């Protein structure tokens, strides 16, 4: 177990490594009761470091068997081993160190380093897992060439993989065999990977832009043989896209993807050997929803894109994590936009950002995208680093324009190939390529908190001038107050009453200004005038969500309704609908059950349901009411049951009023013909399942029949799950129980589908009250050692079933604190993530916040708390 008195690590303490590693030769002897790791490090003093000082290697839970320096065994008094650091005071300028360690992958429940999943050996080394394998200077700015020999029983582990290209293989005594891999590209240890198992190999090829043939391989358990095709195709699309859009060609001769069931996160970009959580790579029409297919495409692309943004050019230290993650999320988001609908992709990204990242940025764990300190780096794989980091890169892209941005990224890759660099190096490359001064822009990397942009307007009829007064303010966050104004690209447009876009003339002389403009806000207040108007316009603000900020403007419901049907910016059209729905729901908070719902909202939705001219994918997004989590995020002193009730009231009112339209929508969008994954087909499935969901929300008998029929005849998981979810959230208890039982029986052999089955129940206010959640934990398919199962029950309950979790009796909080404590002993990383719903206790009304705080205190008082949970809980309670 790790120390329970964690140290804070500061960016300002960064020092270059004292010693460098040129070559790592690894030999793994894998056995059932453990593994012996022989590591030969060819090292030298770093000429850039101050002379003197001991050699220090990181280690975690290792048993040291022997240590040799330049061929001589080191006696115990020649080094100090304090558990997490091995120090050798006296080493020459160049030397070879041979370290032999014994580890126990079969008992590794933290899933960091080398561990076993479904009988196979696999690794996860980012961020600091390599030190659980052997002693090593485990920091990303130490880059070395790796040669890895893996030895194991040939019958049980016929497939032996590591990074790079296979260079040697053969049989050994006792039915064992070996394969040796060599990776020609120097890399940090966090990109090391090893896999050994009885796996099925799926092969394909890709010809790069320069005509090189790359072997593509997927390794999966034999039962998953029919679930590889989609990921393999997505990989080829990603490889082509990165060549075309970023000029990036793949560099090794072989690219491998392995699927493992037990994995702490989605996937990992190890050089040439990406390892995926099964749920983020395996898919078939029968078992994966459309959302899962889209997630798989995005994650396959994301990990592949890391080969350049992350691997060829890596991070100097972990404070720079957003250098690779923000940039790579931006890249995968551009890719997904290109593969489907850019507007829909933007809506999805912004929904996540505004619901969860804004919440993080306003909470006790708020940090800049380049944090200044951390206790446990694993806690910093956050929405801020990833999603806000991507938004910051997107702003650069928008400020510079695609061409300059590409010049900047070319310069960045060329200048820093093979190096470990900083976010500042990235911005400098953009600056140098474009000639733009990004000094103020850099504040986005240093200051935490979501800027609030407040807009006021007035219209001077006599002169035909429309004036926007725009102020920005950045809220205080832990450790940061009195922030400086940031450089905000603020895209706007103006519409006249006929819904036409008006030219944006910034002076009386300008006659035909563009209809879209990106205003660059750099001061805390700007006053911008638009000339030559003949009527008061309706402003369309922050088009396409041009910056990760909160916009405050006193929209009237008329304006929102108008923008909802006229704004040429698809994103703002959706956003206007969301703002209107938020306004309507908020006005019903605490209202009587029979209080009427804004009739114009109902008519706007009726219009959406009837309008077959509109992009149906956008319609499907516009029909979704703002989530409870988003409504909580927007409120102070949140009272979740009241928010839940108000939202339910709107949903039910819409369903009753639009019953005929919903039935017609379900009917109109039935699939005739083969299952397709086109945007159009996905939109159809989405629309018919929304219709079904709404109708079952009001216990409509006809919809019940349709749902049961859909469950019966569905030829794909989207429809099957859509019908199941609708039933589970209805009041038809007997049908719901039967459908759940049938579904489980049919798919009990498929872990990914069982996870869906768990999460449909855990997220339902009908089927996911605490006693039912407790029952799910007793279900034979539930497994505490499998992070996906934990997430699909405990994580979904606390994160998505808000009404049940925030039970006024505090039972939800008590439950979560118990599960966190339980998991902390086996998998601290997952335990720390689960704490998240409690961390924002200050946001809720006193009845809730007091009990949430008490739950955090119970976790704090657990003995031997891991560093991971310690950091989250202590920071949440502080201040």
CB of 221 to ligand B3K, least distance (A): 22
In the complex with ligand B3K, which residue's Cβ is closer, 124 or 761? 124
Question: Which of ligand B3K, Zn ion, none binds 348 (CB below 5-8 Å, type-dependent)?
Answer: none
Question: Which of ligand B3K, Zn ion, none binds 160 (CB below 5-8 Å, type-dependent)?
Answer: none
CB of 542 to ligand B3K, least distance (A): 27
In the complex with ligand B3K, which residue's Cβ is closer, 378 or 764? 378
How does 749-770 read in b/e, with b if 16+ C-beta sit within 10 Å? ebbbbbbbbbbbbbbbbbbbbb
Question: Which of ligand B3K, Zn ion, none binds 317 (CB below 5-8 Å, type-dependent)?
Answer: none
Distance CA 229, CA 204 (A): 10
If one asks whether residue 268 binds ligand B3K (CB under 6 A), the answer comes out as yes
CB of 756 to ligand B3K, least distance (A): 22
Subset of residues 319 to 378 that bind Zn ion, contact rule: CB under 5 A: 325, 328
x-or-dash pattern for ligand B3K, window 322-341, by CB under 6 A?
---x----------------
In the complex with ligand B3K, which residue's Cβ is closer, 34 or 266? 266
Look up residue 204 and give its two tokens: 């394909």
Is 87 in contact with 190 (CB distance < 8 Å)? no
Stretch that binds ligand B3K, among 264-272, 451-459, 479-487, 673-681 (CB under 6 A): 264-272
Subset of residues 566 to 595 that bind ligand B3K, contact rule: CB under 6 A: none
**Binding residue for ligand B3K (CB under 6 A) from 126, 141, 242, 567?**
126
Question: 378, exposed or middle or buried, with CB in 10 Å at 0-12, 13-18, 19+?
Answer: buried
In the complex with ligand B3K, which residue's Cβ is closer, 126 or 648? 126
Question: Which of Zn ion, ligand B3K, none binds 268 (CB below 5-8 Å, type-dependent)?
Answer: ligand B3K
DSSP string, 612-667: SSS-HHHHHHHHSPPPHHHHHHH-SSB-HHHHHHHHHHHHHHHHHHTHHHHHHHHH
What SS3 state is found at 258? Answer: strand
Distance CA 560, CA 564 (A): 6
CB of 658 to Zn ion, least distance (A): 41
Distance CA 326, CA 323 (A): 6
x-or-dash pattern for ligand B3K, window 850-879, by CB under 6 A?
------------------------------
What SS3 state is found at 790? Answer: helix
Is 375 in contact with 341 (CB distance < 8 Å)? no
In the complex with Zn ion, which residue's Cβ is closer, 231 or 528? 231
Alpha helix stretches (DSSP H) within 417-486: 423-434, 443-446
| DSSP label at residue 93 | S
Question: Which of Zn ion, ligand B3K, none binds 127 (CB below 5-8 Å, type-dependent)?
Answer: ligand B3K
- How far is C-alpha 863 from the chain's CA centre? 31
In the complex with ligand B3K, which residue's Cβ is closer, 325 or 633? 325
**Binding residue for ligand B3K (CB under 6 A) from 123, 279, 341, 378?**
378
CB of 839 to Zn ion, least distance (A): 23
Stretch that binds ligand B3K, among 96-104, 233-241, 265-273, 718-726 (CB under 6 A): 265-273
What SS3 state is found at 217? Answer: strand
Subset of residues 237 to 296 that bind Zn ion, contact rule: CB under 5 A: none
From 151, 221, 269, 303, the catalytic residue? 303
Question: Which of Zn ion, ligand B3K, none binds 265 (CB below 5-8 Å, type-dependent)?
Answer: ligand B3K
Distance CA 142, CA 136 (A): 10
Contacts 24+ apart (CB under 8 A), 495-498: 495/537, 495/538, 495/540, 495/562, 495/563, 495/566, 495/567, 496/534, 496/535, 496/537, 496/538, 497/535, 497/538
Question: Which of ligand B3K, Zn ion, none binds 646 (CB below 5-8 Å, type-dependent)?
Answer: none
Is 395 in contact with 546 (CB distance < 8 Å)? yes
If one asks whether residue 302 binds ligand B3K (CB under 6 A), the answer comes out as yes
Question: Which of Zn ion, ligand B3K, none binds 381 (CB below 5-8 Å, type-dependent)?
Answer: ligand B3K
Stretch that binds ligand B3K, among 230-238, 261-269, 709-717, 786-794 (CB under 6 A): 261-269
If one asks whether residue 265 binds ligand B3K (CB under 6 A), the answer comes out as yes
In the complex with ligand B3K, which residue's Cβ is closer, 306 or 791? 306
If one asks whether residue 231 binds ligand B3K (CB under 6 A), the answer comes out as no
303 catalytic? Reply is: yes
CA within 13 Å, CB half, 626:
26
Residues contacting ligand B3K: total by CB under 6 A? 12
- How many helices and strands (H and E) does the chain possess? 30, 31
Distance CA 123, CA 275 (A): 8
CB of 381 to ligand B3K, least distance (A): 5
If one asks whether residue 127 binds ligand B3K (CB under 6 A), the answer comes out as yes
Question: Which of ligand B3K, Zn ion, none binds 126 (CB below 5-8 Å, type-dependent)?
Answer: ligand B3K
CA distances from 591 to 584, 694, 702, 719, 748 (A): 11, 21, 30, 35, 44
In the complex with ligand B3K, which residue's Cβ is closer, 183 or 376? 376
If one asks whether residue 381 binds ligand B3K (CB under 6 A), the answer comes out as yes
If one asks whether residue 191 binds ligand B3K (CB under 6 A), the answer comes out as no
Is 117 in contact with 278 (CB distance < 8 Å)? no
If one asks whether residue 319 binds ligand B3K (CB under 6 A), the answer comes out as no
x-or-dash pattern for ligand B3K, window 269-288, by CB under 6 A?
x-------------------
If one asks whether residue 598 binds ligand B3K (CB under 6 A), the answer comes out as no
x-or-dash pattern for Zn ion, window 575-614, by CB under 5 A?
----------------------------------------
Is 445 in contact with 423 (CB distance < 8 Å)? yes
End-to-end CA distance of the chain: 28
If one asks whether residue 531 binds ligand B3K (CB under 6 A), the answer comes out as no
In the complex with ligand B3K, which residue's Cβ is closer, 297 or 661? 297
Alpha helix stretches (DSSP H) within 263-341: 290-305, 321-339
Distance CA 543, CA 485 (A): 21
In the complex with ligand B3K, which residue's Cβ is closer, 390 or 474? 390
If one asks whether residue 757 binds ligand B3K (CB under 6 A), the answer comes out as no
In the complex with ligand B3K, which residue's Cβ is closer, 302 or 720? 302
Distance CA 750, CA 278 (A): 11
Subset of residues 730 to 769 that bind Zn ion, contact rule: CB under 5 A: none
Q: Which residue is nearest to ligand B3K (CB)?
A: 126
Residues contacting Zn ion: total by CB under 5 A? 2
Look up residue 865 and give its two tokens: 């708390």
Look up residue 378 and give its two tokens: 């694993």
CA torsion, ordered 445, 449, 451, 452, to nearest 10 deg: 180
List of residues 6+ apart from 380 with CB closer than 8 A? 318, 321, 367, 371, 374
If one asks whether residue 303 binds ligand B3K (CB under 6 A), the answer comes out as yes
In the complex with ligand B3K, which residue's Cβ is closer, 60 or 303? 303
Q: Where are the beta strands (DSSP E) in 312-451?
A: 314-315, 373-374, 420-421
Footprint of Zn ion on this chain (CB under 5 A)? 325, 328
Residues designated as active site: 303
Footprint of ligand B3K on this chain (CB under 6 A)? 126-127, 265, 267-269, 302-303, 306, 325, 378, 381
């Amino acid at each position: 177990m790790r120390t329970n008195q964690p140290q804070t690590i500061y960016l300002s303490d960064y020092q270059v490594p004292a010693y460098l590693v040129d070559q790592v030769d690894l030999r793994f002897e894998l056995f059932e009761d453990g593994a012996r790791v022989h590591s030969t490090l060819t090292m030298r003093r770093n000429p850039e470091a101050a002379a003197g000082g001991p050699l220090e290697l990181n280690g975690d839970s290792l048993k040291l068997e022997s240590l040799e320096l330049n061929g001589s065994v080191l006696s115990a008094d020649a080094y100090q081993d304090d558990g997490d650091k091995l120090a050798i005071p006296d080493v020459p300028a160049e030397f070879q160190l041979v370290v032999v360690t014994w580890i126990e992958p079969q008992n590794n429940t933290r899933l960091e380093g080398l561990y076993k999943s479904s009988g196979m050996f696999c690794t996860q080394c980012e961020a600091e897992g390599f030190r659980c394998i052997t002693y090593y200077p485990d920091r990303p700015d130490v880059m070395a060439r790796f040669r890895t020999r893996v030895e194991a029983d040939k019958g049980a582990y016929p497939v032996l993989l590591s990074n790079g290209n296979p260079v040697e293989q053969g049989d050994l005594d006792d039915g064992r065999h070996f394969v040796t891999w060599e990776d020609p590209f120097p890399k940090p240890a966090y990109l090391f990977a090893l896999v050994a198992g009885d796996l099925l190999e799926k092969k394909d090829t890709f010809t790069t832009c320069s005509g090189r043939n790359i072997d593509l391989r997927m390794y999966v358990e034999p039962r998953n043989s029919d679930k590889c095709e989609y990921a393999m195709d997505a990989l080829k699309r990603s490889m082509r896209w990165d060549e075309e859009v970023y000029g990036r060609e793949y560099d090794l001769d072989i690219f491998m993807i392995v699927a493992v069931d037990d994995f702490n996160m989605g996937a990992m970009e190890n050089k040439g050997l990406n390892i995926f959580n099964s749920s983020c790579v395996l898919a078939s029409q029968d078992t994966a929803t459309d959302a899962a297919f889209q997630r798989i495409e995005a994650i396959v692309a994301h990990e592949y894109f890391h080969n350049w943004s992350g691997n060829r050019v890596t991070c100097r230290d972990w404070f720079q994590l957003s250098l690779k993650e923000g940039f790579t999320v931006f890249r995968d988001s551009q890719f997904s936009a290109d593969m489907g609908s850019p507007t829909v992709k933007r809506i999805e990204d912004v929904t996540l950002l505004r619901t969860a990242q804004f919440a993080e940025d306003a909470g006790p764990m708020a940090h800049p995208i380049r944090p200044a300190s951390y206790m446990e780096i694993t806690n910093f794989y956050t929405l801020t680093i990833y999603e806000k980091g991507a938004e910051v890169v997107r702003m650069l892209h928008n400020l510079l324009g695609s061409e300059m941005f590409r010049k900047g990224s070319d310069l960045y890759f060329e200048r820093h190939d093979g190096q470990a660099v900083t976010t500042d190096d990235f911005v400098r490359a953009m600056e140098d390529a474009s000639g733009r001064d990004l000094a103020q822009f850099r504040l986005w990397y240093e200051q935490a908190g979501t800027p609030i942009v407040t807009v006021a307007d007035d219209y001077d009829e006599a002169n035909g001038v429309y004036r926007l007064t725009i102020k920005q303010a950045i809220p205080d966050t832990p450790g940061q107050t009195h922030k400086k104004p940031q450089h905000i690209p603020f895209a706007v447009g103006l519409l006249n009453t006929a819904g036409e876009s008006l030219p944006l003339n910034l002076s009386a002389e300008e006659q035909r200004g563009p209809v879209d403009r990106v205003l660059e806000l750099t001061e805390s207040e700007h006053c911008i005038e638009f000339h030559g108007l003949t009527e008061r316009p309706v402003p369309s603000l922050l088009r396409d969500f041009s910056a990760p900020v909160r916009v405050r403007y006193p929209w009237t419901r008329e304006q929102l309704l108008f923008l909802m049907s006229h704004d040429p910016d698809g994103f703002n059209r959706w956003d206007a609908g969301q703002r209107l729905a938020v306004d309507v729901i908020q006005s019903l908070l605490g209202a009587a059950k029979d209080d009427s719902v804004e009739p114009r909202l109902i008519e706007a939705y009726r219009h959406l349901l009837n309008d077959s001219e509109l992009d149906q994918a956008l319609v499907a997004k516009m029909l979704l009411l703002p989530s409870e989590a988003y409504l909580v995020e927007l409120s102070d002193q949140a009272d979740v049951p009241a928010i839940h009730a108000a939202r339910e009231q709107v949903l039910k009112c819409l369903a009753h009023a639009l019953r005929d339209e919903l039935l017609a929508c379900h009917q109109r969008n039935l699939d005739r013909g083969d299952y397709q994954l086109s945007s159009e087909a996905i939109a159809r499935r989405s629309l018919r399942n929304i219709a079904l969901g709404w109708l079952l929300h009001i216990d409509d008998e006809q919809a019940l029949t349709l749902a049961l029929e859909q469950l019966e005849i569905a030829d794909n998981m989207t429809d099957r799950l859509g019908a199941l979810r609708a039933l589970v959230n209805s009041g038809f208890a007997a049908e719901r129980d039967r459908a759940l039982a049938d579904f489980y029986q049919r798919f009990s052999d498929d872990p990914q589908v069982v996870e869906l089955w768990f999460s449909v129940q855990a997220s339902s206010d009908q089927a996911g009250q605490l006693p039912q959640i407790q029952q799910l934990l007793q279900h034979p398919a539930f497994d505490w050692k499998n992070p996906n199962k934990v997430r699909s029950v405990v994580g979904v309950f606390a994160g998505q079933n808000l009404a049940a979790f925030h039970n006024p009796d505090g039972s939800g909080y008590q439950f979560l604190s118990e599960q966190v404590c339980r998991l902390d002993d086996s998998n601290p990383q997952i335990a720390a993530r689960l704490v998240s719903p409690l961390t924002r206790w200050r946001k809720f009304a006193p009845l809730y916040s007091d009990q949430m705080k008490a739950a955090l205190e119970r976790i704090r008082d657990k003995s031997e708390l891991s560093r991971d949970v310690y950091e989250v809980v202590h920071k949440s309670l502080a201040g």
